[in-house]
């Protein structure tokens, strides 16, 4: 009874502590994690940590990553941290702060579990904990602060790096220098967040004091720089009476028309951190669509003064007069100019015409709104104008006009949004003001309404542009667009089909969209559009198939709807690179299905693809080589590539630098090497040496694909052992890759080592390079793909010297026994082979027996797989013979 009362009292105390504590929230944990990831990398001289990431990718319904039964303890989630100067450890993020837990331990069943008990003190921020646990981390931050004690005035906007994978790959070490200031500020930032009144302890952290002093000096420099006299507007501009919109703009922005970089520290819209940075992170993918050509156009915006500026300035003056008749006449006169001319577009902006045109959108006169929209629709093709409209908050009235009862106003507003949404900020504003749902409603067509199709075209054009944002894609789907798009896809009107298919090809990168497109029967119509005479519609349709064909069911549907033949016919349009890239991409993805490969081989596809290798842009080359790699899976495909003369240009592409292209080229050569005649050509062209050199690539994907390609080359070379030995330093290089943090790289290298070890001389060399302890260290992995090839490599390496004993001494035997519990039969086969080789050492037999290997192998002795059967029986036999010998020795 006393124990129950004690437990209840402890629970009440815990609840009281959680309630009174300055709680850490999930949002704060995410910010701390992102800040820590900014100082991660591979180079200890340029990074504070190797990597840090969530222990699990799963998020519960309440938004936290801790299991339900840990919520009562205030735990939010668990972080895996890999410092440079210590072993990997687990950190618990709770509402009370951060602490190191006791990490993984094996339960009674032998399965790894987390021991949630604390193994350190609790820290208010992640950076304080890391600084306490890692001297290198603390030294790196101190070094960064010393280097920044008097930095030049540079941009302080933090650009977020790409997210890490679940396995936590390292980041570019260069991010450390950029994030040093924010990183060291993170511990104190938590204290500020928990104390809204700004009251802090007197014993402030010394590093925080230095940072505060540095920020004060930088603020003083910025203030001194801003005291210079701002640029004054021209006298001609002063003669024009500013309207209300211009007054608001003048208050919000500097009057100087000179464009400032968004990263300039002197810009009032260039925040250090906070809301603007978070908004950028939310839509970071949007900026990739603002092309370099548009940026160049933005830079030269003030260097060209159009000769028509005087006349346009007079017309703008009449627009401001306020008289309705004068305003309409001025609008009509402006429309007489060539509004697609860049000089005229910039002239309207330079004399303040954009503010007037945007303000006219809020009038009640349909004629004024239509006239203003018609001008904005034309001039918004210019990147500079689109950006200026965003600064004027022009998307708000445009979104409001989507619900106007006047058809012309509604359509022109949607078409203007289609142009303006090519700029990332405008795309966000459309979503923010509820424009996505309004645009989706425009897709609803009424057969009785003669203007229904035109309205749908305008709405589809705007949605096609807005769908370049990932969050907009989700908003479009949630708004119920899928059935409407499926209905519009049946239309014979190509003007409507082009934007509709454009939406689909943008959104098909999302898995939920791909499922919806397939389940709603849209694949058939996409295939039908491949036969259209409109090349833009063909390109959109092929691109949509390219993305949808990531799924096996879609690849089957494309073949069933006879879509392979028109795809091949599109390869003849060599002049249209956009169409060619879409067609080759669709062929590449559909060729992942072996049944489609057979159909492609019958249609003489490979010869056409080989002919496209020369003189093509890289995006086309990536798809062409990827398609060849997929076709090379079949023996007929490998033969067709060789007979078409494709081996030579493929080997030549190994000297390139495009990472995606190198991955596909190595895959294609590796598949071709399964053909003996093709392998002889690869060897003659020194292709294996080029593959080996790619193991030095900094890109893990290239390293892995090169290692996979080396495997069939070694298997099918005439004198593989001598060929491998001829590569100076090659064996040492491939053994060194066993230190990689990438699972795919490790699996491919283990597969290559298994093939290299077939030659005794090469096996002796890699043994001298320390392959045994490196392989033994990897045996704790839980990835079945790596387990399979690692076991095979261990089995091969046991054939040399005392390697069997060395594996036992390195504690590699017990983890291998657990592999037999895997659901993958291929893991069972390779593991049984490894255990059979290891069981030839008596000490290893004892270890296996102690970990219950006999019971696991007994069920595999009756397997239909003869290799597994023999290996399991051989292992049990070795253990049995050792037991009998021990029994005889004991009796004597």
Alpha carbons 156 and 127: distance in angstroms, whole number: 20
Alpha carbons 182 and 53: distance in angstroms, whole number: 18
Residues paired with 94 in a beta bridge: 75, 97
Q: What would the mean pLDDT of 263-270 be, rounded to a whole number? A: 34
Res. 240: pLDDT tops 50 = no
DSSP string, 240-281: SPP-HHHHHHHHHS-S------TT-TT-TT--SSSHHHHHHH
Under DSSP, is residue 740 helix (H, G, I), strand (E, B) or coil? coil
Alpha carbons 702 and 663: distance in angstroms, whole number: 5
Alpha carbons 791 and 796: distance in angstroms, whole number: 9
Q: What would the mean pLDDT of 331-350 be, rounded to a whole number? A: 87
Q: What would the mean pLDDT of 625-642 be, rounded to a whole number? A: 93
pLDDT-above-90 percentage for the chain:
52
CB 774 within 8 A of CB 736: no
Res. 400: pLDDT tops 90 = yes
Under DSSP, is residue 99 helix (H, G, I), strand (E, B) or coil? strand
Cα dihedral 465, 470, 471, 475 in deg (nearest 10): 60
Res. 759: pLDDT tops 70 = yes
Domains, in order of start, for the chain: 14-195 (no CATH), 719-891 (1.25.10.10)
CB 49 within 8 A of CB 173: no
Cβ neighbours for 726, distance < 8 A, ≥ 6 positions apart:
none
120, 288, 424 from 429: Cα distances, Å? 46, 17, 9
Closest CA to 553 of 521, 505, 507, 583: 521
Alpha carbons 90 and 79: distance in angstroms, whole number: 6
Least confident of 242-246, 529-533, 762-766, 861-865: 242-246
Res. 179: pLDDT tops 70 = no
Least confident of 244-258, 488-502, 762-776: 244-258
Alpha carbons 218 and 234: distance in angstroms, whole number: 33
Residue 761 CA to chain centroid, in angstroms?
A: 43
Burial 563-591 (b: 16+ CB within 10 A, else e): bbebbbebbeeeeeebbbbbbbbbbbbbb
Alpha carbons 889 and 891: distance in angstroms, whole number: 6
Q: What would the mean pLDDT of 831-848 be, rounded to a whole number? A: 93
Alpha carbons 340 and 735: distance in angstroms, whole number: 61
Residues paired with 91 in a beta bridge: 79, 100
327: confidence class by pLDDT, cuts 50, 70, 90: confident
Res. 615: pLDDT tops 90 = no
Alpha carbons 753 and 690: distance in angstroms, whole number: 18
Alpha carbons 519 and 513: distance in angstroms, whole number: 10
Residue 658 CB-half CA count within 13 A? 13
CB 585 within 8 A of CB 546: yes
Q: 234: which DSSP letter?
A: P
CB 625 within 8 A of CB 659: no
Under DSSP, is residue 536 helix (H, G, I), strand (E, B) or coil? helix
What are the backbone angles phi and psi of residue 103, rounded to the nearest 5°? 75, -160
79: confidence class by pLDDT, cuts 50, 70, 90: very high
pLDDT in tens, 421-476: 999 999 999 999 999 999 999 999 887 788 889 999 999 999 999 999 999 999 99
DSSP string, 335-375: HTS-TTSHHHHHHHHHTTHHHHHHHHTTSS-HHHHHHHHHH
Token code pair at residue 47 = 């990074």
pLDDT in tens, 711-744: 999 998 888 888 888 888 889 999 999 999 999 9
CB 200 within 8 A of CB 212: no
Res. 293: pLDDT tops 50 = no
Closest CA to 41 of 814, 698, 802: 698
Least confident of 69-73, 146-150, 357-361, 529-533: 146-150
Alpha carbons 624 and 422: distance in angstroms, whole number: 29
202: confidence class by pLDDT, cuts 50, 70, 90: very low
The predicted pLDDT at position 736 comes to: 94
Res. 792: pLDDT tops 80 = yes
CB 399 within 8 A of CB 434: yes
Residues paired with 112 in a beta bridge: 106
CB 833 within 8 A of CB 819: no
């Amino acid at each position: 009874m006393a124990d129950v009362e004690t437990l209840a009292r402890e629970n009440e105390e815990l609840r009281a502590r959680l309630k009174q504590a300055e709680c850490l929230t999930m949002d704060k944990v995410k910010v701390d994690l992102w800040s820590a990831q900014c100082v991660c990398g591979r180079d200890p001289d340029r990074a504070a940590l190797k990597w840090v990431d969530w222990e699990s990718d799963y998020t519960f319904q309440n938004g936290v990553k801790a299991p339900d039964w840990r919520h009562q303890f205030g735990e939010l989630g668990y972080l895996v941290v890999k410092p440079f100067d210590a072993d990997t450890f687990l950190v618990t993020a709770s509402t009370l702060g951060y602490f190191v837990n006791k990490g993984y331990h094996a339960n009674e069943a032998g399965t790894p579990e987390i021991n949630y008990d604390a193994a350190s003190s609790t820290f208010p921020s992640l950076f304080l904990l890391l600084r306490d646990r890692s001297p290198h981390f603390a030294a790196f931050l101190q070094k960064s602060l010393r280097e920044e004690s008097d930095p030049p005035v540079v941009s302080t906007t933090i650009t977020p790096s790409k997210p890490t994978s679940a396995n936590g790959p390292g980041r570019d070490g260069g991010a450390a220098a950029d994030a040093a200031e924010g990183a060291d500020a993170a511990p104190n930032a938590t204290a500020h967040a928990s104390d809204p009144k700004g009251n802090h302890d007197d014993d402030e952290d010394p590093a925080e004091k230095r940072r505060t002093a540095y920020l004060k000096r930088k603020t003083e420099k910025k203030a001194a720089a801003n005291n210079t006299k701002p640029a004054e507007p021209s006298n001609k501009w002063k003669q024009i009476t500013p309207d209300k919109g211009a007054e608001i703009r003048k208050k919000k922005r500097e009057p100087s028309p000179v464009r400032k970089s968004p990263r300039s520290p002197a810009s009032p819209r260039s925040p250090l951190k906070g809301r603007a940075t978070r908004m950028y992170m939310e839509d970071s993918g949007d900026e990739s669509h603002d092309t370099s050509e548009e940026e160049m156009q933005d830079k030269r915006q003030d260097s060209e003064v159009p000769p028509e500026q005087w006349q346009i300035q007079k017309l703008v003056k009449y627009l401001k007069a306020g008289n309705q008749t004068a305003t309409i006449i001025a609008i009509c006169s402006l429309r007489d100019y060539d509004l697609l001319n860049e000089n005229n577009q910039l002239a309207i902006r330079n004399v303040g015409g954009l503010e007037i045109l945007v303000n006219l959108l809020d009038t009640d006169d349909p004629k004024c709104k239509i006239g203003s929209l018609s001008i904005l629709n034309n001039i918004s093709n210019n990147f500079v104008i689109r950006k200026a409209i965003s600064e004027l908050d022009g998307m708000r009235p445009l979104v409001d006009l989507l619900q106007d009862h006047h058809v012309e106003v509604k359509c022109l507003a949607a078409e203007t949004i289609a142009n303006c949404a090519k700029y990332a900020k405008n795309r966000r504003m459309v979503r923010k003001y509820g424009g996505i749902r309004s645009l989706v409603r425009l897709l609803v067509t009424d057969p009785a309404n003669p203007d229904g199709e035109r309205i749908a075209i305008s709405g589809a054009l705007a949605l096609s542009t807005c769908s370049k944002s990932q969050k907009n894609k989700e908003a479009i789907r949630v708004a119920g667009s899928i059935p409407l798009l499926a209905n519009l896809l049946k239309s014979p009107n190509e003007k409507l089909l082009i934007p509709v298919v454009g939406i689909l090809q943008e959104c098909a990168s999302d898995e939920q969209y791909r499922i919806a497109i397939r389940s709603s029967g849209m694949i058939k119509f996409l295939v039908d559009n491949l036969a259209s005479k409109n090349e833009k519609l063909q390109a959109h349709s092929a691109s949509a198939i390219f993305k949808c064909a990531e799924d096996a069911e879609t690849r089957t549907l494309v073949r069933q709807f006879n879509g392979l033949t028109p795809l091949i016919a599109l390869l003849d349009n060599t002049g249209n690179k956009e169409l060619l890239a879409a067609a080759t991409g669709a062929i590449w993805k559909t060729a992942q299905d072996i049944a489609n490969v057979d159909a492609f081989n019958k249609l003489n596809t490979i010869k056409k693809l080989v002919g496209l290798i020369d003189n093509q842009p890289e995006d086309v080359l990536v798809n062409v080589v990827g398609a060849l790699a997929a076709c090379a899976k079949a023996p007929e495909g490998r033969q067709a590539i060789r007979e078409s003369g494709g081996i030579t240009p493929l080997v030549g592409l190994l000297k390139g630098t495009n990472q995606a292209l190198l991955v596909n080229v190595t895959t294609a050569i590796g598949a071709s090497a399964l053909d003996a005649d093709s392998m002889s050509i690869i060897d003659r062209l020194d292709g294996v040496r080029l593959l080996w050199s790619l193991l030095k690539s900094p890109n893990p994907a290239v390293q892995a694909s090169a290692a996979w390609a080396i495997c069939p080359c070694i298997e099918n070379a005439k004198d593989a052992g001598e060929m491998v030995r001829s590569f100076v330093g090659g064996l040492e290089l491939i053994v060194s890759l066993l230190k990689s943090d990438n699972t795919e790289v490790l699996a491919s290298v283990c597969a290559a080592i298994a093939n290299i070890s077939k030659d005794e001389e090469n096996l002796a060399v890699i043994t001298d390079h320390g392959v045994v302890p490196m392989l033994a260290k990897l045996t704790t992995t839980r990835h079945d793909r790596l387990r399979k090839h690692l076991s095979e490599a261990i089995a091969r390496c046991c054939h040399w010297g005392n390697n069997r004993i060395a594996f036992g001494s390195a504690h590699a035997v017990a983890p291998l026994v657990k592999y037999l519990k895997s659901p993958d039969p291929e893991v069972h086969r390779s593991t049984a082979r490894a255990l059979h080789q290891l069981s030839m050492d008596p000490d290893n037999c004892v270890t296996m027996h102690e970990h219950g290997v006999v019971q696991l192998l007994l069920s595999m002795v009756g397997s239909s797989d003869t290799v597994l059967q023999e290996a399991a029986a051989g292992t049990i036999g070795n253990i049995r013979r050792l037991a009998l010998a021990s029994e005889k020795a004991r009796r004597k």
